[in-house]
Amino acid sequence: MLLDRDPAHAFMPYPAVPVPHAPAGPLSGLTFAAKDLFDVTGYPTSAGSPHMLAMSGIKTRTALTVQKLLDAGARLVGKTITDELAFSMSGKNAHFGTPVNGGAPDRIPGGSSSGSAAAVSNGLCDFALGTDTGGSVRAPANHCGLFGIRPTHARVSLELCHDLAPSFDTCGYFTRDGATFERVGAVLLGEDTTPLPQKPRVLLARDAIGLLHAEVRDALAPARRRAVAVLGEPDEVDVATEGFTALYWAMRYIQSREAWTVDGPMIERYHPPLGPGVADRFEFSRAVTDSQVAEAQVIRAAFRKRFSALLDGAVLILPTMPDIAPLLTESDESLNDYRNNALNLLCLSVLSGLPQVSIPLASRSGAPLGLSIMGPAGSDLGLVRLARRIAESA
């Protein structure tokens, strides 16, 4: 870590090695952190696992996405803690600890990009890289009161980044303010391949909002009104006509099979001690059958075709998460229940491959609560700019 202090326990405690960056560029003057899934020359990569850290060695190449930010003038200040093997959403790492949620210190930061969200929400850097496979940027953004994006699948390079489930893995980032969010997006995302229309159709995910408890809907209502004031009156639509349960299981089966393909050989060979929840998820992954995966792939393909058509030329408004972050004192069982409920919302972007931006617009019980917008594949930067406009609207 290149910072002198880490009061948020956001960073891996690596000995500092200078990482060169361009003296000038579009991100000059900004500091950033990288989730410890990305390789950086001079540092190991732990993937949140002591065993992976022991096997890592010091890297001699830097991930393409990290290098792009360095070349744009941003300064790297450290590598951040991630949930173990990125296969969790709580932000609690049994081996390296729990980073502090800067938006609600008594609550979980969310994972698996927990350290990155903690670093930004506690003001330790201007922006941070995370990855989002099943929700690992959107959940921490919601919990910590940050802007966060899960880009169009494959929009941002994950070369020299540890995989979890490659057909779902994406590289996103966090910021505290809309101006920085747009500034970083212009570099990281590049120009849109599918620009949003000047006046896109506006949709409201009626069935997704219906999953929320009344008090959460009420807390989000002012944020929805702000979004509508900028975007225009929406048409209410049901986004999960297949049923959220079917989409949830399609995502679980595909993610689990891919996670076992990536990490299963290491787990079976070395039997590393895995933290609570993570061990259970890998046991589930080991048992997923070929027929379950095949059925899930059929559901994903049909959903992706239908949902992509629905969002063609449109912006969708939906909740980011089912609620504010759970308290740190919640049981593992309660956290797992929250995770499973959250996946019903998070799976829409995952299965479709479409971009989603979470905007820090609301709060409940003194804790942050996000509202999301989604758009067509390749409309990422347009969504980032819309998010800024909504956040800065009166």
Structure token digits, residue 55: 């096997």
SS3 per residue for 42-100: CCCCCCCCHHHHHHHCCCCCCCHHHHHHHHCCCEEEEEECCCHHHCCCCCCECCCECCC
112 catalytic? Reply is yes
Look up residue 162 and give its DSSP letter. -
Q: Report whether 311 contacts 354 (CB < 8 A).
A: yes
Residues comprising the chain, all counted:
394
At residue 301's C-alpha, the angle toward residues 265 and 89, to 5°, is 50
Instruction: Give the residue carrying structure tokens 């405690």.
Output: 13
68 catalytic? Reply is no
Which residue of the set 113, 114, 136, 372 is catalytic? Answer: 136
Which of 171, 125, 167 is CA-nearest to residue 146? 125
User: How are strands ordered across the β-sheet holding 75-80?
Assistant: 75-80, 31-35, 127-132, 170-175, 147-150, 356-364, 367-374, 314-319, 201-205, 235-237
199 catalytic? Reply is no
Q: How many CB atoms sit inside 10 A of residue 115's CB? A: 38
Paired residues of 175 in beta bridges: 127, 147
Paired residues of 370 in beta bridges: 360
Q: Report whether 229 contacts 364 (CB < 8 A).
A: no
Which residue of the set 49, 88, 90, 112 is catalytic? Answer: 112
Which residues are CB-contacts of 243 (< 8 A; sequence separation ≥ 6)?
none
Query: Which run of H or E residues covers position 354?
Result: none
For 230, counting Cβ atoms within 10 Å of its Cβ (0-12 exposed, 13-18 middle, 19+ buried), the class is: middle
Q: What's the rounded Cα separation, in Å, for the pair 137 and 156?
A: 14
Which of 372, 340, 327, 185 is CA-nearest to residue 247? 340
Positions marked catalytic: 35, 112, 136
